[in-house]
Amino acid sequence: MASWVGRIIGAARLDVATYDEIKSDPKATVQALAVVLLSAAGSGIGSIRAGALYAYTAFGIALVAWLGWVFLTWLIGTKFLAEAETQAGVGPLVRTTGFAAGPGVLSALGAIPFLGPLTTNLAWLWILAATVVAVRQAFSYKSIVRAVMVSTIGGAVLFGLYFLYMLVIIMQGGL
């Protein structure tokens, strides 16, 4: 069994064997949640230039976004786009997608002028790629295409909801 740091590195490297190990280890749930918290902290730190309140908000949004993405991914991947062999357990999905959030730690570099937006965007693309691998392994999909579809649809729905939320906030004079 790999160490926690070893699992983070393996997941970031998109190593299928690491995701399989995480999927089958119920004790990895706490580790996965710790990775999500670190990733959310990276978002908060990366947003600190906008002010402390925004940093706290970014941290909270990152947590809620991950929870929403897990729920949407589970719903889409097990109810609408399931394969015959799809395993519908929430635990394996929480564990694998939790570790897939690891590259979000790079978002902490968002506080650096000019370099920040680049690293933040790189982190989110990396998280998306890791999430695809995590979804494929969690649901035992044979096809990476199905995992891409499930992850992309879940992400698009989540982004749409976030966009509507921000639109309401801005229209009420917030931000």
Percent of the chain with pLDDT over 70: 98
What is the number of H-type helices and E-type strands within the chain? 7, 0
CA gap 91, 29 in Å, rounded:
7
pLDDT digits (tens, 9 = 90+) for 4-24: 999 999 999 999 999 999 999
- pLDDT surpasses 60 at 74: yes
Single-letter amino acid code for the residue at 52 = A
In this prediction, residues 53-81 reach a mean pLDDT of 91
CA gap 121, 91 in Å, rounded:
28
Domain ranges of the chain: 4-171
CA gap 98, 95 in Å, rounded:
5
CA gap 28, 22 in Å, rounded:
6
The pTM is what? 0.91
CA gap 118, 133 in Å, rounded:
23
Q: How far is CA 67 from CA 9, 70, 158, in A?
A: 22, 5, 10
pLDDT digits (tens, 9 = 90+) for 97-114: 999 999 999 999 988 988
pLDDT of residue 1: 57
In this prediction, residues 129-144 reach a mean pLDDT of 96
- CA-closest candidate to residue 116, choices 45, 66, 36: 45
